[in-house]
Structure 1
Amino acid sequence: MNSPENITRLLTRKDALDETRIDQVPEDLRAGEGEVLLRIDLCAITTNNITYAAFGDSMQYWNFFPTGIEGWGHMPVWGFADVVDSNVPGIERGERFYGYYPIASHLRMQPERVSPRGFYDGAEHRRSLTSAYNQYTRCSWDGYYKTETEALQILLKPLFLTSAMLADFLDDNGLFGAGQVVFSSASSKTAYGTASCLAQQHPRLRLVALTSPRNRTFVDGLGCYAQSCDYAQLESLDGTQPTLYVDFSGDLALRERVHRHFGNALVHSCFAGSAQTPEANVLGCPVGPMPSFFFAPVQIRKRNAEWGPQRVGAYIGDGLLAFYRQVSKGQAPALRVVESNGMAAAREVISNLFHGRVAADEGHVIRL
């Protein structure tokens, strides 16, 4: 292996998420003592990446892969990488791992808690971060892994994990007494994943989609919502029955309209992030319950304690396989995988996602 070489990485401007730059860092591409070096191969870039980046430092989003450059962050994405060098017993060259990576050519990690399942990155700067994002799964161990579904896994598994655990959280709380659930950004994969889970758990629950006019046909074709309407028609919805609002848009003006329309009939309001605004969950004139932020790892931690990790893994894994089938079926599937190559393609996808130029049925993966 020739060294030194360069690690190529794509950096994002923290206060202007559609501004990116390709950066090169000279490094000796060999693993040091207690280290592994992975070459990142395939990654997914989704609206969720923009969502979490919008909240930025408040969610410690930029802390996973610090850049050392003021004002510039390294966007984490879900993907697959191959070990190119290892100085850690139990991790061999050529092994493939699924996990949270930067948009970069390589990543150096310090594995700990190595097991047949995989390992956790023990780098000092990651010790205070949510452990679910520090875990790397060995593909040869994962019974749900298939080479041919890699793109679906990195596009849907992180989103479906949120969907499944959000649906479980709502179910765990008796739906807060709601008879209907209203979703904003109902065309997003996380939204209709949540709706699909709730429809299976509560067949009589009324699920209502709020979406843009251009996505209305797509939403109606998903088959998981009882009713859809565009945002201008919000006030036409029945505002008298107990309603739960699940916000995937982060649009504060829309959220205030929802709260005012449903008033005391609004039993719970939660949001799973925003692609539009980094502001906190503040309503100008709050009516009804104060919104709360849903963070899937909290519910996973609760269920791990109550159910055990094996049952939690099976709950998510079995649900995910069913979701693969659901979004891939028919002549007009709900998800079309779009694969591109290289850092320049990643820059374009990030910009298009930020500006809302990606069709609802597209899922973008980058072969680095």
Structure 2
Amino acid sequence: MTRINTLTRLQSRKNALGESRLAHEPMPQLEEGEITVRIDRFSITTNNVTYLTFGEAPIHYWSFFPAGDPDWAQMPVWGFAEVIDSAVPEISCGERFYGFFPIANALRLRPERLTERGFFDGMPHRLALTSAYNFYTRCSTDPAYSPELEDYQALLRPLFVTSWMLADYLEDNRFFGARQLVVSSASSKTAYGTAAWLDEHADIRQVALTSSGNLEFVNALGCYSQAHAYDQLESIANDQPTLYLDFSGDAALRTRIHQHFDHELVHDCLVGFTQTSEMIARNQPALAGPAPRFFFAPEQIRKRTADWGPASFNERFSAAQGGFIARLSDPKNDWMTVVEHTGIEAAQALISDLVAGKMDPRAGHIVRLAGNVD
């Protein structure tokens, strides 16, 4: 197994997220009870930019992989890594895990609560952080894992769990009495993952809002009843109970939504941004109607794990995720095309483009780091 002598990390400037640097240091010595993994491949989406943007919000995304410098942060990503050194008898070199990683060539982890399914990282600085981000799934025992579909799993698994749990949350609450959903940033993978599930499993009208440049793509998805550019918002019917699914976090758009739908707006659901009510209130003028409420997927995961039991939850999620990945990986489906990049420097350019809003909704970006060792 190839050793890594130098730890290389990509760090982003906190007050200018499009700016990044490479930091190098000797690989820390492995201690008893720890493993070292070589990070192989991961996805980068606007979801990861959100992690950076709200790094000090309640989830504390900057704290998962500290940069060691108050002005810099490490962007968390979802992907796959291989064990290259182990001081844990139950984990062998060569084992593969899926989970939450920094953009780096390697990471030390301290496995705790180890089971056949995987483990939680017990590094001291992560103990107080949200546990959903601390679990590493053992690929060899994961029923949802497929080696030939790793790129799709890295891209869609972290997004689809939010999509699926959001759809479940809405159904669980009977859509708060709404008969139509209005969805902003409807071209985003998390948004259309939610819409696709509801299109097949619920009886509710879904109206998409997107940029004019993405309107053709959103119309072609087929999971929305209608699609409108943002400047066409006021043309949407406002004569029935409406629920707003906010994937954009745009305060000016939220104000227009509240003004247009007025008393017919029954719920304002903020998705994908780790803003608290206080943060929203501070950045948002007073709104008539329902106050924005943040949807946090791990809360619904905890609820459904208690309702259904862990085994049933995992079985249901694996089936739902498998169906979505099969749909998007079908060569006849043009919802998404995987675009592979090689090397940590490629991640720098990709992040800069995403922060600047240079996004093709059909592209799913994967970065491969294999070979970035010394």
With structure 2 as the length reference, what TM-score do the two structures score? 0.94
Q: Superposed, which structure 2 residues align to 1:1-368 within 5 Å?
A: 5-28=5-28, 31-58=30-57, 59-202=59-202, 204-274=203-273, 280-282=279-281, 283-329=284-330, 331=332, 333-368=334-369
CA distance in 2, matches of 1:2, 1:43: 20
Q: Is the 8 A contact 1:48 1:275 kept in 2?
A: no
TM-superposed CA distance for 1:317, in Å, is: 1.2
Q: Tell me if structure 2 keeps the 8 A contact 1:139–1:145.
A: yes
Alignment partners' CA distance in 2, 1:274 and 1:252: 12
In the TM superposition, what whole-angstrom CA distance separates every residue of 1:3-31 from its partner, at most 9, and x where no partner exists?
88210000011121111101101124x53
Report the RMSD for the aligned CA atoms in angstroms: 1.8
How far 1:274 moved relative to its partner?
4.7
Tell me the distance in 1 between the aligned counterparts of 2:10 and 2:158. Answer: 21
Q: Distance in 2 between matches of 1:228 and 1:254?
A: 16
List runs of 5+ in structure 2 lacking aligned partners. 370-374
Any idea what SS the aligned residue of 1:301 has? helix
> Which TM-score applies when normalising by structure 1?
0.96
Cα separation, partners in 2 of 1:247 and 1:3, compared to 1, 3 Å: closer
**Structure 2 CA distance, aligned partners of 1:325 and 1:357?**
27
> What 5-or-longer segments of structure 1 have no aligned partner?
none
Asked whether the 8 Å contact 2:274–2:294 carries over to 1, the reply is no
Letter of the 1:61 counterpart: Y
Secondary structure of the equivalent of 2:140?
Answer: coil
Question: Following the alignment from structure 1 to structure 2, what is the Cα–Cα distance between the partners of residues 138 and 250?
Answer: 34
Matched residue type, 1:220: N
In 2, distance between residues paired with 1:157 and 1:199?
19
Q: Is the 8 A contact 1:47 1:275 kept in 2?
A: no
Whole-angstrom CA distance in 2 between matches of 1:311 and 1:53: 33
2:333 and 2:118 map into 1 onto residues whose CA distance is 37
TM-aligned CA deviation for residue 326 of structure 1: 2.2
- Please state whether the residue corresponding to 1:217 is helix, strand or coil: helix
State the alpha-carbon separation in 2 of the partners of residues 177 and 83 from structure 1: 49
Tell me, yes or no, if the aligned pair for 1:101 and 1:107 is still in contact at 8 Å.
Answer: yes
Given that residues 185 and 248 in structure 2 are in contact (C-alpha distance below 8 angstroms), is that contact kept between their aligned partners in structure 1? yes
Q: Amino acid of the residue matched to residue 5 of structure 1?
A: N
> Residues 4 and 341 (structure 1 numbering): CA distance in 2 closer, same or farther, change over 3 Å?
closer
Question: How many residues are matched?
Answer: 365
Q: 1:343 to 1:298 in 2, by over 3 A?
A: same
Distance 2:150 2:273 in 1: 26
Q: Kindly state the Cα deviation for residue 99 of structure 1 after the two structures are TM-superposed.
A: 0.3
Per-residue displacement from partner, 1:107-142 (whole Å, max 9, x unpaired)? 001111111111110111111111111100111001
> SS in structure 2 opposite 1:339?
strand
> Match of 1:37, SS?
strand
The offset of 1:332, in angstroms, is 5.3
Give the C-alpha shift of residue 331 in structure 1.
4.1
Q: After TM superposition, give the deviation of residue 275 of structure 1 in Å.
A: 11
* 2:191 alignment partner AA: A
Tell me how far apart the structure 2 counterparts of residues 2 and 265 of structure 1 sit (CA, whole Å). 61
CA displacement, residues 35-78 of structure 1 (integer Å, 9 cap, x when unaligned): 10000000111100111211111130101011111110111100
Q: Distance in 1 between matches of 2:18 and 2:273?
A: 15
CA distance in 1 between partners of 2:198 and 2:179 (Å): 12
